Amino acid sequence: MNITSLLITLAGIIFIVALYIISRISQSKLPKNTATRIPNIKDENGERFTSVLDDIPARDGSTPVPDMTVNEETAQDNQADTQTDQQEEDDDEAQAATHTPANDDKEDAASKQRQHILFITPRNEEGLDGSLVQKVLQKNGLVLGDMDIYHYFPVMDSNQDDEKYSLFRVANGMAPWTLKPEDLLGKKLAGLSVVIITPTKINDSEAISLFISLSERICKQLGGVLKNQQQQLFTASDKKDLIYLYK
């Protein structure tokens, strides 16, 4: 009787140990919950793309940089601001009589390079159908090209460069960040990033209107949701403000 009880107890201990080992092995196979950052994918102007994920929001249309780089940039900006404060004050006084906030926005858009981003996200957690993404992008005239992302090449005037000019691009919203067939067929995507940089080689007003309208069309055909670069719903007001910058 004592031997039987001992054997039963021993078997129970072995069973518990086996369950523990199996649970540890199962946990080791689960995907790691690690923070990821969009890789250093840049266009021909050196501008980086940004992620569709909420944990990596766009910063003025560009990918957030590592904290140390942010600190270095902040320090440089502060030093530059200190050196130019007096000059800026003089400029402000000289231009105050002629400048308005609306005019400043227009002049800012026309005078320096700016990156605008629209996100196409799924309506549910299942994601965008990768196979459908490929068909829709190709149907709307986008071509897989440099950096393994899709590009929109407008018809250029005969007096302009003969080389193909990528007016705007569509990138994957998460790893592996590319849109090659093997990244799409039979896969689900967290979203897409549609990126344009101004000034463009065509009329900027026409470029922005085309950028918005094509993004809206692609989003509708994918059954997705169009968001601004703050990853909020792209509203009629957002659309109006963006178009107004380039009128």
How do residues 183-237 score in pLDDT, each as one tens digit? 899 999 999 999 999 999 999 999 999 999 999 999 999 999 999 988 899 999 9
Residue 142's domain comprises 67-80+99-244
**76, 1: one domain:** no
Q: Are 23 and 129 in contact (CB under 8 A)?
A: no
The pTM of this model reads: 0.60
Lowest pLDDT segment from 18-27, 56-65, 138-147, 182-191 = 56-65
CA dist., res. 180 & res. 134, Å (int): 9
Q: Using one digit for the tens of pLDDT, what is the confidence trace for 14-41?
A: 878 777 777 676 555 544 443 333 334 5
CA dist., res. 14 & res. 203, Å (int): 76
**16, 74: one domain:** no
Residue 59 included in any domain: no
Alpha-helical regions (H) of the chain: 2-28, 67-95, 101-111, 130-139, 181-184, 204-222, 236-244
Structural domain total, the chain:
2
**23, 72: one domain:** no
